[in-house]
C-alpha cells in the first residue's frame, strides 16, 4: 500500500516537469528540400519553420469573433463601470469583450459581433 501511495505522489510531482518543456517552446519543425542543381549536383537545403503568431485584427459588425486574434483579450463583466465610455447593457446572449482599446459586443454562443466601440478603454 505504501509503495502505491509513494508511486502516485512521485507521478503527481513529476508531471508538471514533464509537460513544461513541450509547452514552453512553440512547435517547430525542420523542412528539408532536395533538388537537382546545375550540372547534375544535388542541393539539400534545411530550415527550421516556426508557426507565425496570429496578426491582430480590426473588428467589424457581423464578423465572427476569434479571441486568438484579439489583442489584450478580456471579457468585461462590469460594463456599468464603463458607461461613460458608451458601453451599455448587453442584450440577452451577448457579452462585452475587450480587444486592445476597443470594446466588442459578441454573441456568447455563435461569436458574431453585434457592435464595436473603438477606443473605449483609452
| Structure confidence by residue, pLDDT tens digits, 112-122 | 999 999 988 88
pLDDT tens-digit profile of 60-96? 999 999 988 888 899 999 999 988 888 999 999 999 9
Q: Shortest CA distance to 59 belongs to which of 42, 39, 73, 76? A: 73
77 DSSP assignment: S
Full-model pTM: 0.57
Higher pLDDT, 58 or 90: 90
Q: Which three cell numbers stand for residue 40?
A: 547534375
Residues 98 and 42: their CA atoms lie apart, in Å, by: 53
Write down the pLDDT at residue 24: 47
Please check the confidence at residue 10 and state whether its pLDDT lies above 80: no
Band (pLDDT 50/70/90 cuts) for residue 104 is very high
Which residues lie below 8 Å from residue 63, measured CB to CB, with a gap of 6+?
112, 113
- All residues at 6 or more sequence positions from 72 whose CB lies less than 8 Å from its CB, including other chains: 98, 99, 100
Instruction: Write out pLDDT tens, residues 26-46.
Output: 577 788 888 887 788 888 888
pLDDT for residue 5: 63
Indicate the pLDDT class of residue 8, thresholds 50, 70 and 90: low
Amino acid at each position: 500500500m505504501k509503495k502505491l501511495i509513494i508511486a502516485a505522489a512521485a507521478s503527481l510531482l513529476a508531471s508538471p516537469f514533464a509537460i513544461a518543456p513541450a509547452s514552453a517552446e512553440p512547435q517547430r519543425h525542420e523542412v528539408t528540400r532536395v533538388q537537382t542543381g546545375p550540372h547534375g549536383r544535388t542541393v539539400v537545403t534545411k530550415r527550421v519553420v516556426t508557426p507565425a503568431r496570429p496578426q491582430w485584427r480590426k473588428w467589424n459588425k457581423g464578423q465572427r469573433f476569434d479571441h486568438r486574434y484579439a489583442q489584450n483579450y478580456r471579457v468585461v463583466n462590469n460594463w456599468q463601470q464603463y458607461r461613460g465610455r458608451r458601453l451599455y447593457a448587453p442584450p440577452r446572449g451577448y457579452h462585452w469583450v475587450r480587444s486592445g482599446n476597443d470594446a466588442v459586443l459578441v454573441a456568447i454562443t455563435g461569436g458574431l459581433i453585434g457592435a464595436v466601440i473603438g477606443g473605449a478603454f483609452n
